[in-house]
Structure 1
Amino acid sequence: MHKNHGIGYAEYERNLDKRLDIEQEREKEYQKSLEVSNEMERKIL
């Protein structure tokens, strides 16, 4: 948690604003990974 987001799990648990920021960042990363995956799949097929 600390390596990827700069805060520890305890702080993540306590601070709702930071938790929401991290979860939004995770969602963006997830959507980007889906786009990359879909692009690779189109190129292969």
Structure 2
Amino acid sequence: MEKAMQSAHGIGYEVYKRKHEIRMQVERRRENDYIQSRRLIADLDRKVHAHL
């Protein structure tokens, strides 16, 4: 878990766990990434189905 947090967000899990503001920043970034990926999937889906 420590390596994943460090590589994905540039902070260690202990810092993430202790500091509320850091945790909120990470969670906002995760939420934005999720929304962007859902939009990308929806766009690709529309393109695929438009050509059928």
Q: TM-score, normalised by structure 1?
A: 0.95
Residue 4 of structure 1: how far off its partner (Å): 1.1
Listed as ranges, the gaps of 5+ residues in structure 2 are none
Q: Cα RMSD between the aligned structures? A: 0.5
- Give 1:6-45 correspondences, 5 Å limit: 6-45=10-49
| Bigger CA radius of gyration | 2
Identity %: 36
Over 3 Å off, 4+ runs: none
The letter for the 2-side match of 1:35 is R
